[in-house]
Chain A
Amino acid sequence: MIVLITMISFFLDGILSRYILPNSLFLPLFTIVSLVIIYPYFNNDNFRYFKFIAIIGLLYDITYYNTLFYNFFIFLMLGFIIGLINYLLSNNIYTNILMTVASIVTYRTITFLTIIIFKTHSYSLYELLQSIYRSLILNIIYCLIIYIITEFYSKKNKILRSK
């Protein structure tokens, strides 16, 4: 199930990028949402979780960004934040939304800072805020849908997940 959720999200990111306008209010970051959803299914085996998201990060780098080890590191950082929130709070629909928001804010901020520092682009802080709020709505909705589906499926098939 872990691989399926991640792969669906990964490919949806690519496919929807053609249909969703860059200036719209619904920018997809489904792969990042999938990192939040799959965490409980690793049953606190953090090493396996980090290994998995590192591979997804590398794949994301090569396929969508033409970079190497850029999203790899960011995904590991997001994995750390997701792990920390899961350690502090119990996993439920609200913490999943919180983790999605935290991951998107972190992701956008890191990419913004990297571009400002290393790529000589001229962006303002307002554009960072714009990129964040434009990514929130669709990804929170996606998080809710995937959470409900996986919750239902894991209960039905008695799949173990950490709480």
Chain B
Amino acid sequence: MYRKKQKEKRNKIIIICILIFCLITGFIINVVITDRNLTIFEKTIKDSVLTVQKVLAFPIDFVVNKINENNGKNKMYEKYNDLENQVKENEKYKVENEELKKQLSDMKELLNINDTIAEYTYLNANVINRNLDYWNDTIVINKGEHDGITKDMPVVIGTNLIGKVISTTTFNSTVRLITATDVVDKISVKIKNGDNYVYGILNGYNKENDTYTIEGISQNIKIENESIVTTTGMGDIFPSGIVIGKITGINTDTFDLSNVLEMKSDVNFDNINYVTVLRRNI
């Protein structure tokens, strides 16, 4: 009788321990997820603290901008020449662009496609914070729900994809960069190969070489270096046609069954000050 009671007691303790372990594990998982929706309480605190930070950072920004401005002035003449050449080229592109736009709208009507980069409006934002955490590559921008930004919106610099919005407050948003080595987040990409496209998956970033890995490409397909990699539009987060980078190397996987491509982005991720959020037109 005594032994039975002892056994029951031990079983109860084990069950309680398992329950506590599960609760703590669940709690920690919930706690470390950075792309969850913030509560109103958190949003208010975050916005207030970041506003104070913006005010405090103003003198530092002012000095840094003045220094950059001064450095820029020294290269003014070179920049002027570059811009003059670009203006001449732009005229040519303008005509081409109008023709392509017309062709695209005809094609879209024909194929009933409505998720291309043209359906997005551009919203410029300043970077106010970079991740303090060594492990998560995130930035905080000064545009939020008030400006129509919602979770999962793609973020670009120029025409190059740099990440997506993972959480928003009223006046700020957090963006996870594509350099974050989160294996859960994979991006469907296509590589321009002659007149055709080859489809693959962007899977991981190598910090040391500053390159990305693209997997899922058949070994029979020959892809040239410098081929342009863009988004496919699959997955409903990134619209089709946003440039991610260029192919810099071609290897095979460990079983010699498929190609593993190395890609490099044109964006300098160490120096991001201004970004553009792509907001879908409704």
Q: Which residues of B contact A114 (CB under 8 A)?
A: 28, 32
- When the two chains form their complex, are residues B134 and A131 in contact, meaning their CB atoms are under 8 A apart? yes
Q: How far is the CA of A135 from the CA of B182 in the complex (A)?
A: 22
CA of A21 to CA of B134, assembled, Å = 11
| Cβ contacts B11-51/A at 8 Å (1 or 0 each) | 00000000000000001110111111010001001100110
Taking CB atoms, residues of chain A closer than 8 Å to B33 are 67
Q: B49 to A112, Cβ gap below 8 A? A: no
Which residues of chain B are within 8 angstroms of A19 by Cβ–Cβ distance?
A: 60, 64
Please tell me which one of the listed residues A11, A23, A66 contacts residue B34 in the complex, with CB atoms under 8 A apart.
A66
A27 adjacent to chain B (CB < 8 Å): yes
Size of chain A's interface in residues, with CB distance under 8 A? 38
Whether A62 touches B128, Cβ cut-off 8 Å, given contacts A22-B134, A114-B32, A131-B134, is no
Flag if A64 contacts B34 (CB, 8 Å): no
B residues near A18, Cβ cutoff 8 Å: 57, 127-130, 273
Query: How would residues 108 to 141 of chain A score, 1 for a CB under 8 Å from any chain B CB and 0 otherwise?
Result: 1001101100111111000100010011000000
Which residues of chain A are near B174, meaning CB under 8 Å? Answer: 66
A-B residue pairs, 5 tightest by C-beta: A17-B130, A131-B134, A66-B34, A21-B270, A15-B57
Chain B residue at minimal CB-CB distance from A7? B52
Q: Are A64 and B32 in contact (CB under 8 A)?
A: no
State A71–B91 Cα separation when bound (angstroms).
54
Chain B residues closer than 8 Å to A65, beta-carbon distance: 34, 132-133
In-complex Cβ contact of A123 among B35, B36, B45, B135 (8 A): B135
Residues of A contacting B135 with CB < 8 Å?
A: 111-112, 115, 121, 123, 131
27 example contacts (A-B, Cβ-Cβ < 8 A) are as follows A11-B53, A14-B57, A14-B129, A15-B53, A15-B56, A17-B131, A18-B127, A18-B129, A21-B270, A22-B270, A29-B132, A59-B45, A63-B46, A64-B133, A65-B133, A66-B38, A67-B32, A69-B31, A108-B134, A115-B136, A118-B28, A119-B32, A120-B183, A121-B135, A121-B181, A131-B134, A131-B135
